[in-house]
Amino acid sequence: LALISEAELHRLASEALGATGLRETDADDAARILVLGDLFGIHTHGVSRIESYGERLALGGIKAQPDMRIERVAPSIAKLDGDNGLGPLVGMRALREAMAMASESGTAAVFARASNHFGPVAPYNYLAAREGFASIIGSNASTTIAPTGGREARLGNSPVGFGIPGDRAPIILDMAVSVVARAKIRDALKRGEPIPDTWATDAEGRPTTDPRAALDGFLQPIGGYKGYGLALIVDLFAGLLSGAAYLTHVQSWSDHPEKPQDLGHFFVLVDVKRLGSAEWLAARVADFKRILHETPPVDPARPVLLPGEIELGVLQRQRREGIAIADDVLAALRAITSRSA
Amino acid sequence: LALISEAELHRLASEALGATGLRETDADDAARILVLGDLFGIHTHGVSRIESYGERLALGGIKAQPDMRIERVAPSIAKLDGDNGLGPLVGMRALREAMAMASESGTAAVFARASNHFGPVAPYNYLAAREGFASIIGSNASTTIAPTGGREARLGNSPVGFGIPGDRAPIILDMAVSVVARAKIRDALKRGEPIPDTWATDAEGRPTTDPRAALDGFLQPIGGYKGYGLALIVDLFAGLLSGAAYLTHVQSWSDHPEKPQDLGHFFVLVDVKRLGSAEWLAARVADFKRILHETPPVDPARPVLLPGEIELGVLQRQRREGIAIADDVLAALRAITSRSA
């Protein structure tokens, strides 16, 4: 594990992305999202992804130099054709357009299609919040969730993020709709432990405590039909309305790395600066946080937190002390860069 | 139980609301939302509410003839001061403004403050969808949910609704963030049955299977910290950003019926007509529904449904055959009307 500065990690990530064929400014954009992922401590969705992005670029499943096209269909709505470019690049382009439109109109929506995995959602919410925008941002994903009452995966474990600008730090909720990620089930299998029957179903759609049966089955969405409904709403906004693929039309990255996924994303922004002064907002958000922080805790050693608070704490610490990156991830980035040099 | 036509129920509800002091057009607006609640089969949030609304109006906790003021703070953002008017009235005014702005700009957000319980959310999503708008609509509520790791209620079981216009019928998800409503726990207590330990905690914040302890404790949000996060996001949009009360600042209707609650709501709309033709949308939504309906079911007798499908089916049937309303509810409406006559 190495501690590396944000600037240095950004340089390494940009160079590696450039080495896979991206234009310099595009590599810079995509690196920004991934480095923020690492800054938040979400290393599974950080620069470690560049290696697999590179593999898909090499196979032609992602286009290194896409011809992205923005079409404004209303004063505050744009459609973005990502031309099968790298997800975080399409995402940054969409976010920038959404911020520009929301600055003019107050609210904005950008719908992106022909895209790919766009990284973690929290960085987009964070960048929007820093400019004073509240945001609701989501993406669809290849299918891993069965509808309530069904026994075949027809929905993705779609991520959705919400951000509100705050006093010193924003409030950010970045979540997928499953109770847990598949990785937690794999961990239980490795340890030879059963799982709670609320995490997943077997292949027949029946709740199971057997991690092996769960991995052959489907992730359970939070709150049963409510989480199923949320997954479906995210796909309607991200996939159906954007003109992208949706539900089972989304290509699986792992099964067909050479085929475009045609993922979709949506970015809905509200310019909070129009609602009141920075002081008004800061005072209300500080009070809001205080009320939650002062809740008597179940365990006195574990005070009540707000969503995103751990990640934002990690970000601040890593900005001071350096970002902790696994040695093999750094080595992979350097290998990608030197291969093309 | 009586079967009564939509027009007749609307007339009865409007007259009863008028008898409580509302202006005729305002009574008409509020009745529209409540009758739609009954049409969807959500009778707990339908015209049966008029009796308790009337009691609060009589106590001065709600203003019968509010001076609602809309302020457009950006081309597509408005703030609405509800002046402590009846919730469904404030809600209808906000929805109408949001639709007008979204028709111009493509997207819109209306933030309402100084309001009250605005009825079920689905009718607002339904009315928006009928005019071609996708919508995200929510309200805060008095506190019943403890933050994750806390043992005091600091959040409401905030309702949020999502709507997407469709082919013949829209897709609507109207949900609260708790696993179940308190009514289901009260039912278990009446039957003398234990409840699943995922429904609620006791007063110390510990999961419980005892319905009595649960009623003294807190509802559990769906997915643990994810549902807590969703409740908090809804309150940030509905309460904090709108300028209304939020978290513990919201007055409890039952504890202080004579005090204004200062609830807040938000209405975020996207004009889907700007994204493609009606034919394009209808074909995609029909395909989306088909993919989900054709999922092999766990129980062959119970095919997979989409959110809102049951309610929309009830609406269609009741429009044909009449709305089923309990006799005591009808009697109460007639009593309110005749008292003032």
The CA distance from A145 to A150, in Å, is: 9
Cβ(A211)–Cβ(A193) below 8 Å: yes
Query: What is d(CA B109, CA B71) in angstroms, rounded to the nearest whole number?
Result: 12
Residue in A146, A222, A295 nearest the CB of B147: A295
Interchain contact, A149 vs B305, CB within 8 Å = yes
C-alpha A63/C-alpha A44 separation (Å) is 22
Interchain proximity B225–A272, CB inside 8 Å: no
Express the helix, strand and coil content of chain A in percent, nearest 5 each.
45, 20, 35
d(CA A89, CA A27): 8
* Inter-chain touch B275–A228, beta carbons under 8 Å: no
Interface test with A, best of B72, B270, B311 (most A CBs within 10 A): B270
Q: Does the distance separating the beta carbons of A204 and B298 come in below 8 Å?
A: yes
The pLDDT of B197-220, averaged and rounded, is 93
Query: B205 contacts in A (CB within 8 Å)?
Result: 298
Cβ of A241 within 8 Å of Cβ of B272? The answer is yes
Provide, as residue numbers in chain A, all residues whose Cβ is less than 8 Å from the Cβ of B70.
none
Return the pLDDT at A205: 87
How far apart are alpha carbons B163 and A232 in whole angstroms? 11
What residue type is assigned to position A309 of the chain?
A: E
User: CB distance A247–B198 less than 8 Å?
Assistant: no
Does residue B205 carry a pLDDT above 90? Answer: no
Q: What chain B residue is nearest to A204 in terms of C-alpha separation?
A: B298
Which percentage of chain B shows pLDDT scores above 70? 100
Look at B222 and A222 and tell me if their CB atoms are within 8 Å. yes
Residue A200: list chain B partners with CB under 8 A.
Answer: none
Give the pairing type, strands B171-176 and B200-201.
Answer: unpaired
User: Would the CB atoms of A307 and B232 count as touching at under 8 Å?
Assistant: yes
Rounded CA-CA distance B24/B29 in Å is: 9
The CA R_g of chain B, rounded to the nearest whole Å, is 20
Q: Which site among A97, A180, A206, A236 would you substitute to test the B interface, given the most B Cβ atoms closer than 10 Å to its Cβ?
A: A236
Other residues' Cβ atoms within 10 Å of the Cβ of residue A75 = 17
Here the tokens at position B56 are: 């609060």
Cβ distance of B243 and A275 shorter than 8 Å:
yes
- The DSSP letter of residue A273 is G
Does the pLDDT at position B242 exceed 90? yes
CA distance B34 to chain A (A): 23
Rounded to the nearest 10 degrees, what angle do helices A122-130 and A24-39 cross at? 100
Cβ within 8 Å, pair A304-B147: yes
Q: Please indicate whether, in this complex, the C-beta atoms of A149 and B299 are within 8 angstroms of each other.
A: yes
B247 and A276 in contact by Cβ < 8 A? no
SS (H, E, C) chain B: CEEECHHHHHHHHHHHHHHCCCCHHHHHHHHHHHHHHHHCCCHHHCHHHHHHHHHHHHHCCCCCCCCCEEEEEECCEEEEECCCCCHHHHHHHHHHHHHHHHHHHCEEEEEEEEECCCCCCHHHHHHHHHCCEEEEEEECCCEEECCCCECCCCEECCEEEEEECCCCCCEEEEEECECCCHHHHHHHHHHCCCCCCCCEECCCCCECCCHHHHHHCEECECCCHHHHHHHHHHHHHHHHCCCCCCHHHCCCCCCCCCCCCCEEEEEEEEEHHHCCCHHHHHHHHHHHHHHHHCCCECCCCCCCCCCCHHHHHHHHHHHHHCEEECHHHHHHHHHHHHHHC
CB contacts, 8 Å: B105 with chain A: 74-76, 105-107
Query: Nearest CB to B295: which of A104, A136, A154?
Result: A154
Q: Do B247 and A288 touch (CB under 8 A)?
A: yes
For residue B124, the number of C-alpha atoms closer than 13 Å in the C-beta half-sphere is 35
pLDDT tops 80 at residue B149: yes
Contact yes or no for B105 and A76 at CB 8 A:
yes
- Give how far A169 is from chain B: nearest CA, Å: 14
Kindly report the nearest CA distance between residue A154 and chain B, in angstroms.
7
Could you give the CA distance from residue A188 to residue A176 in angstroms, rounded to a whole number? Answer: 20
Using CB atoms, pick whichever of A74, A108, A275 lies closest to residue B79: A275
> What's the pLDDT score for residue A341?
59
Each residue of A74-113: pLDDT tens digit? Answer: 999 999 999 999 999 999 999 999 999 999 999 999 999 9
> pLDDT tier at B341 (50, 70, 90 boundaries)?
low
pTM: 0.97
Q: What does the pLDDT average to over B73-80?
A: 98
Q: How far is B154 from chain A (nearest CA, A)?
A: 7
pLDDT averages per 10-residue partition of chain A, 341 residues: 94 97 97 97 93 92 97 98 98 98 98 96 98 98 94 95 94 95 92 94 92 94 95 98 98 87 97 97 97 96 96 97 96 91 59
Q: Do B247 and A292 touch (CB under 8 A)?
A: yes
Distance between CA atoms of residues B270 and B125, nearest Å: 12
Q: Report how far residue A117's alpha carbon sits from residue A140's, in angstroms, rounded to the nearest whole number.
A: 9
Sort strands B155-156 and B143-145 into parallel, antiparallel or unpaired: antiparallel
Asked if B77 and A284 come within 8 Å (Cβ–Cβ), the reply is no
Q: What is the pLDDT of residue B252?
A: 86
How far is CA B89 from its chain centroid?
A: 13
Q: Which residues of A touch B240 (CB under 8 A)?
A: 164, 284-285, 288
* Minimum distance, in Å, between the CA of residue A180 and any CA atom of chain B: 9
Phi/psi at B38 (5° precision): -65, -40
* Contact (CB, 8 A) for B323 and B3: yes
- Closest in B75, B268, B271 to A268, CB measured: B268
Mean pLDDT score of chain B: 95
A113: enclosing H helix or E strand: strand A107-115
Q: Which residues of chain B make contact with A226, given a CB cutoff of 8 A?
A: 173, 175, 222
Least CB–CB distance from A229: residue in B149, B151, B175: B175
For residue B281, the tally of other CB atoms under 10 A from its CB is 20
For residue range B271-328, what is the model confidence (pLDDT) as tens digits?
Answer: 999 999 999 999 999 999 999 999 999 999 999 999 999 999 999 999 999 999 999 9
The angle, 0 to 180 degrees and rounded to 10, between the axes of the packed helices B122-130 and B87-105 is 30
Interface with chain A: mutation pick from B240, B280, B299, B309, highest number of A CBs within 10 Å: B240
**Chain A residues within 8 A of B107 when measuring between CB atoms:** 74, 76-77, 105, 107-109, 268
Site of tokens 């938000």? B266
Residue-wise pLDDT tens digits, B4-56: 999 999 999 999 999 999 999 999 999 999 999 999 999 989 999 999 999 99
Phi and psi at B114, nearest 5°, equal 50, 45
A139 by Cβ neighbours in 10 Å (0-12 / 13-18 / 19+) ranks as buried
* Among the listed residues B268, B242, B271, the one whose alpha carbon sits nearest the alpha carbon of residue B105: B271
Q: How many CB pairs under 8 A join A and B?
A: 233
Q: How far is CA A238 from CA A80, B24, B174, in A?
A: 12, 42, 19
Q: Do A109 and B106 touch (CB under 8 A)?
A: yes
Rounded to a whole number of angstroms, the distance from the CA of B251 to the nearest CA of chain A is 15
- Is A274 in contact with B73 (Cβ distance < 8 A)? yes
Per the CB < 8 Å rule, is A292 touching B111?
Answer: no
